[in-house]
Amino acid sequence: MKRLLMVFLAFGMSLGAQAGEFKSSLVVQTGELRESDLIVRNITDLNSKKTCLAFYIRTTGTSPVMHCYDAVGGFGASINQVGSLKEGELVIRKIEDFKNNMSCLVAYVATPGTSPAVDCVAIKARFKDTLTADGHLREGDLDVRRISDPSSLKTCLVSYVSTKGTSPSVVCYDAKAGGQGGLRQASYLREGDLVVRKIVDEANGKACLISYVSTEGTSSHLHCYSE
């Protein structure tokens, strides 16, 4: 019995020697913004001096999207909505963090089961904060809209599929000064239940491959590159 007890003690000491080091991290909510059915919470990791914006919609079955970046002074953000527009079922809001000089374009469709799409960039200039929808293309069940954001010197494409519970996708890129032209579909592929469309933004010299599956609850995926 004594020998068995000594074996257990030795085994316990061995496990204790192999145990990893415990590290604490203080994560706190440092702000909140509500704009209609959109909720934005500012979460800060005080140990790493990172702050994050978590976006979600007040509908059933929603999922959040989070974007993190370095916090000035290591603490918190100062967020506000500086622009918004509604295009059909699509809601687009521009949220700025004035303290950390970040701008986020948020797109969503306010239906159950949806999630927002977010693209955040560093603010380069502030001319005006008006968002403008200056291009629209509909191909089958795919809807693509071009959004101009002069304040960030960016153009954004937002795509979504017109089925229940869909979630949009958004990609922003540098706007081309003086560019002209609309959106057009340059190619189309269907393999089984997968659809891929090549959409060209003529004004900015960009092409985007958009892939999706035509079922309820789907999301499109955008990949853009220079033509």
Q: pLDDT of 195-214, one tens digit each?
A: 999 999 999 999 999 999 97
pTM to 2 decimal places: 0.80
Q: What is the mean pLDDT of the chain?
A: 85
pLDDT of residue 58: 86
Q: Does position 92 have pLDDT exceeding 70, yes or no? A: yes
Q: Does position 15 have pLDDT exceeding 60, yes or no? A: no
Q: Does position 17 have pLDDT exceeding 60, yes or no? A: no
**Which carries the bigger pLDDT value, residue 3 or residue 116?**
116
- pLDDT, one tens digit per residue, over 158-197 is 999 887 778 899 999 999 888 889 999 999 999 999 999 9
User: Hey, is 11 helix, strand or coil?
Assistant: helix
pLDDT of residue 1: 53
pLDDT of residue 4: 46
Q: Does position 3 have pLDDT exceeding 60, yes or no? A: no
CA distance 170 to 174: 14
The H or E element containing residue 42 is: strand 38-45
pLDDT of residue 7: 45
Q: Looking up tokens 């892939």, which residue turns up?
A: 211
- Eight-class DSSP state of 5: H
Domain residue limits, the chain: 25-226
